[in-house]
């Protein structure tokens, strides 16, 4: 960790100049953040009591002092994180001066997903103001990583600055934020379930020619058969067995239309145990046998019977 205040001055000047010029907005598909300012200050002494309409997250690199918020006083020392939340009166005091890194930001709610809106709302209302001994925690390490990008005396690639800055602010959200509500956990679990179902579908598609019992697919995904059954019911509104049969029939339809393979061969390639079972399932789902389906599509002009 960088602690020498004298050697920090030129480093902080470069960091201030580049970060405030290059990074005043961070935008992701489900998250947008407005950055009001970045700050890298070799010596920060006392300031007056004040408040912001946004978040200001600070990290102590060196020095000692105190942070006052709503009649509470917290000690500041190297490795301390402290967060000023919107609308909260606060004050920083230090007789010897603090080496600080800080960023002021706010989420753009209209461009944030419901999950992020809820998370930043909880941070504003119930966030922990001060966290001690975080030098080797993610946020402390990321502040030092961000500073290290300016330690070579040359400009850093914008992508490196953006990715580190985004990781830093998300780590601040996690470090200071309270536990997410049950609704948020339910949302996360729903997304996880959808991902598992998608992985199951990919595995089924890639292995249609083989036996695909429920237990085999569940084992591949490292979950129980019962859990996989529930996920298909919730996310696909059908049973696992029904989904697999539909995929087998769909593949058979495509092969009947686009190849001249024998029906017995198609049945095997689509994972049916026998041509008789294939015919029974195909007919039950489409109301026509595989042979008649192929003939009807041929006579209706689906194939070019007179190639030029």
**Calpha distance 303→292 (Å, rounded):** 15
User: pLDDT tens for residues 189-236?
Assistant: 567 788 899 999 999 999 999 999 999 999 999 999 999 999 999 888
Sign of the torsion angle spanned by Cα atoms 197, 203, 208, 213: negative
Where residue 59 sits, what CATH number does that domain have?
2.60.120.10
Query: Domain boundary at 133, 159, 180, which?
Result: 180
Residue 307 within a domain: no
pLDDT reported for residue 180? 52
Number of domains in the chain: 2
Domain boundary pick from 180, 210, 245: 180
What is the model's pLDDT at position 159? 86
- What mean pLDDT comes out for the span 24-45? 93
Q: What are phi and psi of 152, to 5 degrees?
A: -95, 0
Distance CA 105, CA 85 (A): 10
190 and 176 co-located in one domain: no
CATH number of the domain that residue 284 is part of: 1.10.10.60
- The per-residue pLDDT for 173 is 95
Do 169 and 270 lie in one domain? The reply is no
Predicted local distance difference test score (pLDDT) of residue 306: 39
Q: What is the pLDDT of residue 153?
A: 60
The verdict on 68 and 175 lying in the same domain is yes
Q: CA 24, 81, 98, 52 torsion: positive or negative?
A: positive
Domain span at residue 144 reads 5-180
Residue 186 — pLDDT band, cuts 50, 70, 90? low
Does residue 105 sit in the same domain as residue 175?
yes
Model pLDDT, residue 179? 66
Task: Give the confidence band of 299 by pLDDT, cuts at 50, 70, 90.
Answer: low
Is 168 in the same domain as 196?
no
* pLDDT at position 188 over 70: no
What's the token pair of residue 278? 């294939």
Q: Does residue 1 sit in helix, strand or coil? A: coil
Domain boundary among 180, 200, 222: 180
CA distance 149 to 207: 47
Question: What pLDDT is stored for residue 118 in this prediction?
Answer: 87
Tell me how far apart the alpha carbons of residues 252 and 290 are, in angstroms, rounded to a whole number. Answer: 8
| Residues contacting 88, CB < 8 A, separation 6+ | 51, 69, 70
Give, in degrees to the nearest 5, the angle at Cα 158 between 152 and 164: 80
In this structure, are 16 and 140 located in the same domain? yes
Q: Structure tokens of 196?
A: 């598992």
Mean pLDDT, the chain, integer: 88
| Residue 23 within a domain | yes
Rounded-to-integer distance, Cα 52 and Cα 55, Å: 7
Q: Can you give the pLDDT at residue 155?
A: 66
The verdict on 154 and 69 lying in the same domain is: yes
Residue 273 CB-density burial (10 A; 0-12 exposed, 13-18 middle, 19+ buried): exposed
* Sign for the pseudo-dihedral over CA of 66, 67, 73, 74: negative
With a cut of 80, say whether residue 303 has pLDDT above it: no
Residue-wise pLDDT tens digits, 132-176: 999 999 999 999 999 988 876 666 688 889 999 999 999 999 999
Instruction: Kindly provide the residue ranges of all beta strands, DSSP E only, lying in 63-97, ordered along the sequence.
Output: 65-69, 72-76, 81-84, 90-93
Q: Are 288 and 296 in contact (CB under 8 A)?
A: yes
For 245-283, how does the pLDDT look when each residue is reduced to its tens digit (9 = 90+)?
999 999 999 999 899 999 999 999 999 999 999 999 999
DSSP states of 34-50 as a string? EEEEEEEEEEE-----B
Handedness of CA 67, 72, 78, 80 (dihedral sign): negative
Strand, helix or coil for residue 290: helix
Cβ atoms of residues 64 and 77 within 8 Å: yes
DSSP state of 128: -
């Amino acid at each position: 960790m960088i602690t020498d205040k004298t050697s920090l001055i030129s480093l902080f000047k470069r960091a201030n100049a580049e970060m405030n010029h290059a990074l005043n907005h961070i935008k992701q598909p489900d998250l947008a953040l407005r950055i009001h300012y970045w700050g890298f200050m070799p010596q920060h002494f006392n300031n007056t009591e004040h408040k912001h309409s946004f978040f200001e997250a600070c990290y102590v690199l060196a020095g000692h002092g105190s942070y006052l918020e709503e009649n509470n006083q917290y000690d500041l020392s190297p490795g301390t994180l402290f967060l000023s939340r919107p609308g909260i009166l606060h004050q920083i005091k230090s007789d010897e001066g603090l080496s600080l890194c800080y960023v002021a930001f706010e989420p753009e709610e209209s461009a944030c997903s419901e999950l992020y809106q809820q998370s930043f709302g909880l941070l504003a209302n119930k966030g922990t103001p001060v966290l001690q001994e975080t030098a080797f925690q993610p946020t402390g390490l990321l502040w030092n990583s961000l500073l290290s990008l300016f330690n070579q005396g040359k400009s850093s690639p914008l992508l490196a600055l953006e990715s580190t800055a985004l990781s830093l602010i998300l780590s601040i959200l996690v470090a200071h934020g309270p536990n997410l509500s049950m609704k948020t956990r339910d949302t996360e679990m729903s997304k996880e379930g959808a991902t598992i179902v998608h992985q199951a579908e990919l595995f089924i598609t890639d292995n249609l020619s083989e036996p695909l019992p429920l237990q085999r697919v569940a084992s591949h995904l490292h979950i129980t058969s019962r859990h996989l059954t529930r996920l298909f019911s919730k996310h696909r509104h059908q049973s696992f067995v029904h989904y697999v049969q539909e995929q087998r029939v769909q593949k058979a339809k495509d092969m009947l239309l686009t190849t001249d393979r024998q029906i017995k061969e198609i049945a095997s390639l689509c994972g049916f145990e026998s041509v008789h079972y294939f015919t029974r399932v195909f007919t039950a789902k489409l109301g026509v046998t595989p042979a008649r389906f192929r003939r009807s599509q041929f006579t209706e002009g689906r194939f070019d019977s007179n190639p030029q």
